[in-house]
Structure 1
C-alpha cells in the first residue's frame, strides 16, 4: 500500500519550499538576479568580508553552486574579492555600491512577495510558523542563522 504523500510533513514542507522558491525567482527575475545570487548578495551585505564557502554554508548550498552565483555577481560588478589579511588561501567578498543599491531594491520586492505568500495566515499564525521554521532550520542547518560565523576558522 502506498501512503498519500500529502499526509507527510516533509512532503508538505517540500511542496511549500518549491512554491516559495518559484515565486521568489519570479520576483527577482526583473532585477536579473537568481535566488542564489540574491542570497549571496544579501549575505555579503550583512557580513562584508565573508568567504564564498561561508555564504554557501549559510545558504545550504554546495560551494560549487554558490561559486557560480558569486561569479555572476562579480562579473556584474556587484561584489568584489579581496585577499584575506591573514589567510592567503581565502578570498573575502565585499559588496560594491551597486551591489548594496541592488540589495535595497531587492529587499522591497522580496517583502512584497513575502506578504502575498502569507496573506492567508493571521499575524499570530505567521509568527508561530516563523518560530517553528526557525527551530527546524536551527536543527538542520544552523549556519543559515549564525551571522557571527562569516570568516573561516
Structure 2
C-alpha cells in the first residue's frame, strides 16, 4: 500500500531532520577515529576561524547548548587542543584560542567532514549540490538568523 504524500514523513521538515540525524551519526562515527565528538569538531572549527570567541558564541554558531559546548571545550582543553584566556574587559568571560596541536587536529577533522560531505552528496549533480547548499543556507538564515557567517565571495 502506498503512503499518501501528505503523511508527516514526507514533510520537508521531517526529511531535513532525518537527513540531519543520519549525517550527524556518520560524522560522529568518523570523528571518533580522531577521538573527537561532533561538538568538539565544531568547537575547534569555530575557534580556529574566530580566535578569542566565547564558549557561548561558539555554542550559538554550532547550534548546541552552552552546556554541551562547555563539555566539548573542557575535553579539548584537557588534551591541550584549546585554551581559555581572560577577556580583556569582562572578567566573567573567557576567550577561546586554539593551540598548534588543536589547529592540526582541526585540519584533520575538517578533511573528514569534507570527505563525508562528498560521499553523502555524491548522489547529486554539481548543480543540485549548489542549489541544495543555497536553499539550506537561506532556510537556516531564516529560522536562525546570525548563526552563519556571511557567505564568502
Deviations for 1:11-57, whole angstroms, at most 9, x for unmatched residues?
Answer: 10110001110111111110000000100010000011000000011
Higher relative contact order (CA 8 A, sep 6+): 1
* Structure 1 match to 2:94: 91
Matched, 1:81 2:84: yes
In the other structure, the counterpart of 2:12 is 9
Per the alignment, in what secondary structure is the counterpart of residue 92 of structure 2?
coil
TM-score (norm 2): 0.91
Distance 2:47 2:145 in 1: 18
Compute the displacement of 1:4 (Å): 2.4
Q: 2:127 aligns with which of 124, 127, 135?
A: 124
Take 1:75 and 1:140, find their aligned partners in 2: how far apart are those partners? 35
Q: What per-residue deviation string (whole Å, max 9, x for no partner) do you get for residues 90-112 of structure 1? A: 10000001000001111111111
Of 26, 30, 33 in structure 1, the residue corresponding to residue 29 of structure 2 is 26
- The counterpart of 2:74, out of the listed 60, 71, 75, is 71
Distance in 2 (CA, whole Å) between partners of 1:35 and 1:64 is 14
- In 2, Cα distance between the equivalents of 1:141 and 1:71? 26
**Paired position in structure 2 for 1:138:** 141
Q: How many residues are aligned here? A: 146
CA RMSD of aligned residues (A): 1.4
Aligned to 1:151: none
